[in-house]
Each structure stands twice: as structure tokens, then as C-alpha cells.
Structure 1
Amino acid sequence: MKMRRNNRKNRRGAITSIDLTSLMDLTFMLLIVFVITVPVIEFATDVTPPELDGKTKAEEIENPVLITLNQAGVIDLDSQSVAMHELDSRLLRLRQERGQVNIMIRAHGERPYEDIVAIMRAAQKAGLNSVSLMTQAEKIQ
């Protein structure tokens, strides 16, 4: 009997440490997965264009230049297709020819806001400070 009691005490004493190796492996694997996947996730903001509440119409703006960005991402500068990397040089040339002009940007609602910001930056690089975003009037029935 005495021996049985000693064995039970020894068994309890043997379970004083827990092997954490597999838990640490799992933790590091999760850390590596998150470190790799987080930079890949694209951060985009959905921005809906504002509703028409302004009193200024496109026809009332003096010396306007219309930049259109369609659903496919094609940029038209006064009805001429322009690549994004050429836009700032074309706007600079336009400013040298016509002087200070008013840029009006009309973009498709499904285009990322980053594309519109890139167009605004190109206008700013060319020294054109008057940039407006166009909205479409709602049809009243």
C-alpha cells in the first residue's frame, strides 16, 4: 500500500511542466501569415459623388477645360484621349497656351477615388489651382 501512495505522488509531481513548443510554432506561423498578407490587402475607400446642390453650372465657368474619366479608366482631355503619365505635361502645355484655366473633372462613379486624386495632382503640378468636380443633376419627374 505504501508503494501505491508514493507512485501517485510521483505521478502528480511529473506533470509540473507543459510543453509549449507546438503552441509557439502555431503562434509564429500565424504571425508570419499576417505579416505577409496585411501589405497585400488593398485599402480603398468607396466615395460616392456628392449630390447636386451647387448653383454654378458648367456653362457659367469661364475658360473651362473638361477632363473625363470613364468606367474603363480612359482619360479624355477636351475630347482627346490622354495617358495618365502624359496628363501633367499636357496640362502644363495647355496652361502655357491658354493661361490660367478652370479644370472640371467628370469621373464615372465606379472609378477608384485614387484616379481622381491623381488627376488633381497632375493639375496641381501644372500650376492649375482651379479644379472642380462635376456632378450630374437628378432628373425631376
Structure 2
Amino acid sequence: MAMSPFASDDDDGLMNEINMTPLVDVMLVLLIVFMVTIPVIRHAVKIDLPHASSQKEEIKPLQINVSIAADGSVMWDDQKVSDETLRTRIAQAAQADPQPELHLNADRKVAYEKVAQVMSAAQAGGLTKIGFVTQPVSH
């Protein structure tokens, strides 16, 4: 047997390292193929679709101004009303669609009991949107 410096006894052994260069080349070729073929795959069917407006019509509810003066008198939109008339108008307003908002203006010196009575009448009549109107404090 001739001994050469390049000859080794493990010629039959497996390679210890994987050559990555062919794998990277294959991956780059596949990437290019997919980049070229994906725009071609897109199928489009031209259809003349009808046009429609999808904006919701927003109907703002009416505002009813109820004021309570310092002496306890109740005003419905600047008209003085009795307790029975107030209940009747609240019941009529509760039937409207959309339901109106009740804006309650109470004098600073009015008894809380009167405000509670008006709120109770509104709730019993079916009005669910009640707002209190106040004056900002000036400095």
C-alpha cells in the first residue's frame, strides 16, 4: 500500500457537515418563481355592481325644555302648564319616534321635591332621556 499524505483510512465514512450552498440556491430560485407566478394566478371577474349609499340617516331627537321657577311653577317650552297638562304632554312626547330629550332647567331656589316630582312624572310617562341644564360658575 502506498502511503500518500491525502489518503485517509475513513473514505467510507459519512460527511460531518452539510453543504448549505445548494440549499440556498434552491430557496432563491423558488422565491423568484413564486414572485413571478402569484400575480398571474389572480383571477378577476368583472361585474357591474349596483351602487348604494351606506350612510345611516341620523335623525336627531327633539329637545323639550321644561323649566321650574323658584315659586314651583312649571314651564313647558316657555308655556306655563299645570301638573295634569305636564303629565299629558310627557305621555304624548314619549310616543314619538325617536323619543325626545327632556332638558330640565330648575331655579336655584326651587325645592328639590318639585324637581323630583317632575322627574318622576317624566319617568312614569315613559321618557328615558332626561338632562339637567346648569349655568357655569363665573370667576
Tell me the TM-score normalised to structure 1 length. Answer: 0.51
Matched, 1:109 2:108: yes
- Whether the 8 Å contact between 2:61 and 2:99 is mirrored in structure 1 is no
The percent of aligned pairs where both chains have the same amino acid is 24
Q: Which runs of 5+ in 2 are unaligned?
A: 1-59
> Greater Rg, structure 1 or structure 2?
2
CA distance in 2, matches of 1:98, 1:118: 25
Query: Once the 2 structures are TM-superposed, how far is the Cα of residue 136 of structure 1 from its aligned partner?
Result: 0.4
Other structure's SS at 1:115 match: helix
CA distance in 2, matches of 1:78, 1:98: 19
Matched, 1:91 2:90: yes
- Whether the 8 Å contact between 2:63 and 2:101 is mirrored in structure 1 is yes
Query: Once the 2 structures are TM-superposed, how far is the Cα of residue 138 of structure 1 from its aligned partner?
Result: 1.9
CA distance in 1, matches of 2:129, 2:93: 14
Letter in 2 for 1:73: G
Structure 2 equivalent of residue 57 of structure 1? none
Deviating 4+ runs (over 4 angstroms): none
Q: Counting helix residues as a fraction of each chain, which structure ranks higher?
A: 1
Q: Which runs of 5+ in 1 are unaligned?
A: 1-60
Tell me the TM-score normalised to structure 2 length. Answer: 0.52
Superposed, 1:1-141 pairs within 5 Å as: 62-97=61-96, 99-140=98-139
CA RMSD of superposed structures (Å): 1.9
- After superposition, what is the alpha-carbon deviation per residue over 1:61-108, rounded to whole angstroms, capped at 9, x for unaligned? 852111000112111111111112321111111233564111111111
Aligned length: 80
